Amino acid sequence: MSSTNRTIVKAAGFLMAAQLVSRLLGFLRETLIAGFYGQGSATDAYNAAFILPDLLYWLLVGGVLSAAFIPVFSEYIAKGKEDEGWQVVSSVVNLIFLTLGVLIFIGLIFTPQFLRLMVPGFETIGNIGLTINLTRILLIQPLFMAVSGLIMGVLNSYKVFWPSALGTVLYNACIIFFGTILANPAEPDSISGFAVGVVVGAFASFAVQIPALRKVGVRYYPIIDWHHPGVQRIGALAVPIIISYSLNQIQVAVNNNFGSLLLPGSITAVWYSYRLFQLPVGIFALAIAVATFPTMTEQAALKQWDKLRQTISSAIRMVIFITLPISVGMIVLRYPLIRVLFQHGQFTAKDTLTMAIPLLYFAVGISSQSVIQILPRAFYALQDTWTPVILGIISMVINIIAMFFLIGPLAHGGLAFATTIAAFVNMIMLFYVLRQRLGRMDGWAMFWTSVKSLVASLLMAGVIWEWSEWLTSLIGIRTLASMIVLVSGTVIGVIAFAGMAKLLRMDEFKQAMGLVNRRIETR
């Protein structure tokens, strides 16, 4: 393994561990909400309240950070022009902060009108008043998240990843703390405690990164230099991805619009399922993508095309190797998984059955969604932001059309299945166009990794299925029994998949075991 790959693997390993802790806290948060308030109009209101804050964040920060900020600043660092890079950083931060402040002020005034447009069904079968109050609380969050995200971009450009990872842990911890102490199941409006926790958590995520920022030598300038070439380049690169993220939020809004017309709790069922679906994507795929991105950016800036192709191929193969068995395992074990995480308090067995439907359709698309975390970043490293946007728009249109046709026969399951279909189409299009741009990309190696991972995963699924059916018939489906089925099924599944991966002589298995062995030897 090259020194570059070792650096990426080490960074990805740390980020995976941090993401695992953060995601586990995230699920504890969702479990607490489900236990306190069940799956109904209050939780629908809480989830819908994120529409406007998320829209503002992704409109101004998400696209700038992922598509433009890191590549441009990394290039200044690589070329030894740090001071000029900090002038660009200062201009971008000042511009975003001022613009976001104005938009948040406008959003606070027009929250009712916005929500009546986004979730019209809440007027009759939902809780529009609670949704408005929660949205106004959450609108403070984007300010802190914006600064936090930009600081993360600076630190990632220096290949410093731990502060932002710690920030995500603190973010979820704050939500859990404030949500729990303010919760009162008899009063649905008390779910606002979790919204307060979101705001405090966003501040904590920002504050914890300050020491590391000072350590890398922060240089702040109270300027907005519109004419600086770096600022203009970030703007040019960010425009298409901002359009993409804005359209993606429209897609989310359409999802909530359809969901608001279904039975109360449908939006919550889709949201909780989406959280479970995003768990492996966030822990593994996103960690690998974030750790790989600065290296891809540096290789592209130095025109090291062979190394860039190898970096992309290695990242995709590792993501497929990790996520395919998780996808299959989640499908087989989805009922005990939901019972253990959610079925307690106000969350009933009927809610479990409702939630299992969208989770099935989401789980099918885990690998596609995971690969999508890497492919757009390859284009961003090439400072091409338009291609992923155009392909993303096509996928978004496919998603909305699929939702329209699938919501009738599949109800809230159709909303999830539409997302999976769109993700698969997006992945294929991104890979095809990237291959046209970079030439041969070790496609056969990726193909055989996919085939071998699928074969091993299907065998694993058969073993888990037989085991879980037999064990469930013996011990039942109560919480402790479901936990035993889930844990034992997971362990058996890991052993079965690892055995098949070794038998099939998969390079990714050897890399993973090599990393584990090195970790053990260093202790």
Q: Which residue has the higher pLDDT, 63 or 403?
A: 403
Quote the CA–CA distance of 355 and 341 in Å, as a whole number. 12
Q: Which residue has the higher pLDDT, 415 or 518?
A: 415
What pTM value is reported for the model? 0.73
The answer, yes or no, to whether residue 506 has pLDDT greater than 90, is no
Q: In this prediction, what percent of the chain has a pLDDT beyond 90?
A: 38
Identify the pLDDT of residue 454: 94
The residues, ordered by sequence, that sit 6+ positions from 69 with a Cβ below 8 Å of its Cβ are: 92, 150, 153, 234, 238
Lowest mean pLDDT among 412-421, 435-444, 453-462, 477-486: 435-444
The residues, ordered by sequence, that sit 6+ positions from 155 with a Cβ below 8 Å of its Cβ are: 161, 163, 164, 209, 212, 213, 216
Q: Which of 244, 249, 254 is nearest to 414 (CA)?
A: 254
Quote the CA–CA distance of 142 and 188 in Å, as a whole number. 25
- 250-261 CB burial, b ≥16 within 10 A, e <16: ebbbbbbbbbbe
The pair of three-digit structure tokens given for residue 319, joined into one six-digit string: 């993501």
Identify the pLDDT of residue 2: 54
Quote the CA–CA distance of 434 and 372 in Å, as a whole number. 12
Mean pLDDT of 209-227: 83
Identify the pLDDT of residue 5: 55
The average confidence (pLDDT) of the chain is 85
Angle between helix axes 479-503 and 443-475 (nearest 10 degrees) is 150
The answer, yes or no, to whether residue 237 has pLDDT greater than 90, is no
Confidence category of residue 520, pLDDT binned at 50, 70, 90:
very low
Q: What does the pLDDT look like over 457-480, one tens digit per residue?
A: 999 999 999 999 999 999 999 989
Q: What does the pLDDT look like over 262-281, one tens digit per residue?
A: 887 788 888 889 888 888 88
Mean pLDDT of 28-55: 88
Q: Which residue has the higher pLDDT, 43 or 2?
A: 43
The answer, yes or no, to whether residue 167 has pLDDT greater than 90, is no
The residues, ordered by sequence, that sit 6+ positions from 85 with a Cβ below 8 Å of its Cβ are: 72, 73, 76, 77, 230
Quote the CA–CA distance of 265 and 45 in Å, as a whole number. 10
With beta carbons less than 8 A apart as the criterion, state whether 486 and 336 touch. Answer: yes
Where are the chain's structural domains? 1-37+40-264
Lowest mean pLDDT among 150-159, 169-178, 383-392, 507-516: 507-516
Q: Which residue has the higher pLDDT, 215 or 489?
A: 489
Identify the pLDDT of residue 14: 64
Confidence category of residue 492, pLDDT binned at 50, 70, 90:
very high
Identify the pLDDT of residue 56: 85
Mean pLDDT of 325-343: 94
Quote the CA–CA distance of 361 and 365 in Å, as a whole number. 7
Cα-Cα-Cα-Cα dihedral sign, residues 306, 287, 145, 40: positive
